C-alpha cells in the first residue's frame, strides 16, 4: 500500500501496526509512524515530509536517529 502525501487512519493501535510495516517505517511520536523514504528533513524535534512538519517525541528520538544512520 502507498499513501504518499496522505494520511492513513486505522482503529488499530500504533504499537500493533509497527510490527506489520516494512523497516522503512519508524515511530516518531506516540501518534505518528512515518516512512523514512518520504522524510525530506529531520531536525532535533521535528520531521518534515509531504509539506507537513511532525513532532518527534523525546522517547522516540534516539530510536529514530539510529534507524536513519542504519539506512545511510
**pLDDT, average across residues 19-23:** 90
Query: Would you give the DSSP letter of residue 30?
Result: T
The C-alpha atoms of residue 7 and residue 59 are separated, in whole angstroms, by 23
Map grid coordinates 500493533 to a residue.
16
**pLDDT, average across residues 8-25:** 82
Residue 35's beta-bridge partner residues?
25
Which pLDDT value is given to residue 4?
Answer: 53
Report yes or no: 16 and 27 within 8 Å, Cβ to Cβ.
Answer: no
Calculate the average pLDDT of the chain. 84
Predicted TM-score of the model (pTM): 0.76
Residue 41's beta-bridge partner residues?
48
Amino acid at each position: 500500500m502507498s499513501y504518499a502525501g496522505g494520511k492513513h487512519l486505522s482503529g488499530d493501535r500504533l504499537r500493533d501496526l509497527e510490527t506489520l510495516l516494512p523497516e522503512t517505517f519508524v515511530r516518531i511520536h506516540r501518534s505518528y509512524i512515518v516512512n523514512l523514504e518520504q522524510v525530506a528533513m529531520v531536525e532535533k524535534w521535528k520531521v518534515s515530509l509531504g509539506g507537513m512538519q511532525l513532532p518527534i517525541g523525546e522517547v522516540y528520538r534516539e530510536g529514530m536517529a539510529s534507524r536513519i544512520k542504519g539506512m545511510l
